């Protein structure tokens, strides 16, 4: 397993987030919802989403994000994007795809926000801690969101694995990982939070009621 750090949409990992206030000035509940992208927010493809034009949101995902925000959750997108290191296209194309994602979510619901977008450009053969099923992107999301809530610039050391005890913040008990594939589930379990698998034809709305049920401990796979 290699200490290859994740990337962040249009920002350095060390840049403080400009966090959008919650509705009605409610406080952050301390928990983060980590979302996979394809099959959760948008229709996935076995051949990847290769351009903004190919991105098509699943129904009601904007409303789901608003429901999470209304309950005080921060939301972090964590997506494997190996086409970059496979040489199919570059970081600039992914930026355009994610710009389209942000815009389309706002079209579904004006109050739909993603607090943070992280991605892993690594192929499976690179064995990066930042590629799901490893939890590196979730670790980074924890640091960036918590530090930013405190008004601090986040710091993620190059050797993230060996410094976890000193960089990770206490995670809210209702945090969750949501994805449509077993690698997403495994990343959440490795991180130690509730993990939900969705029907990729339905996406986030498939489990939104379960996420908001604080007694639901997530899926249990054997």
| Nearest by Cα to 108 from 70, 76, 45, 66 | 66
Angstrom CA distances, 181 to 93, 97, 195, 208, stand at 24, 21, 11, 17
Q: Is 216 a catalytic residue?
A: no
Q: Is 184 a catalytic residue?
A: no
- Which residues, other chains included, contact 9 with Cβ-Cβ below 8 Å and sequence gap of 6+? 95, 98, 117, 118, 119
- Which residues, other chains included, contact 198 with Cβ-Cβ below 8 Å and sequence gap of 6+? 39, 40, 178, 179, 180, 204, 206, 207
C-beta separation of 145 from 115 below 8 A: yes
Q: Which of 38, 115, 180, 184 is catalytic?
A: 38
| Nearest by Cα to 32 from 129, 157, 137, 111 | 137
d(CA 214, CA 28): 15
Q: Which of 36, 104, 180, 184 is catalytic?
A: 36
The crossing angle, in degrees rounded to 10, of helices 61-70 and 91-108 is 80
Angstrom CA distances, 214 to 31, 57, 71, stand at 11, 27, 11
Catalytic (active-site) positions: 36, 38
């Amino acid at each position: 397993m290699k200490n290859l750090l994740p990337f962040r949409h249009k920002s350095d990992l060390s840049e403080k987030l400009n966090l959008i206030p919650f509705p009605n000035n409610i406080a952050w509940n301390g928990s983060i919802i980590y979302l996979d992208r394809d099959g959760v927010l948008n229709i996935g493809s076995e051949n990847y989403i290769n351009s903004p034009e190919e991105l098509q949101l699943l129904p009601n995902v904007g409303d789901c994000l608003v429901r999470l925000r209304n309950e005080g959750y921060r939301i972090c997108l964590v997506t494997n994007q190996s086409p970059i290191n496979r040489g199919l296209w570059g970081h600039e194309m992914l930026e355009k795809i994610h710009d389209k994602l942000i815009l389309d979510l706002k079209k579904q619901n004006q109050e739909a926000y993603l607090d943070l977008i992280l991605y892993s450009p690594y192929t499976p053969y690179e064995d990066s801690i930042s590629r799901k099923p490893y939890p590196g992107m979730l670790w980074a999301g924890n640091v960036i969101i918590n530090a930013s809530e405190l008004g601090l610039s986040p710091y993620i050391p190059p050797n993230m694995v060996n410094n976890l005890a000193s960089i990770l913040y206490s995670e809210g008990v209702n945090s969750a990982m949501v994805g449509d594939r077993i690698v997403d589930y495994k990343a959440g379990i490795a991180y130690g939070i509730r993990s939900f698998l969705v029907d990729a034809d339905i996406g986030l709305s498939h489990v939104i009621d379960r996420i908001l049920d604080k007694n639901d401990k997530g899926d249990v796979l054997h």
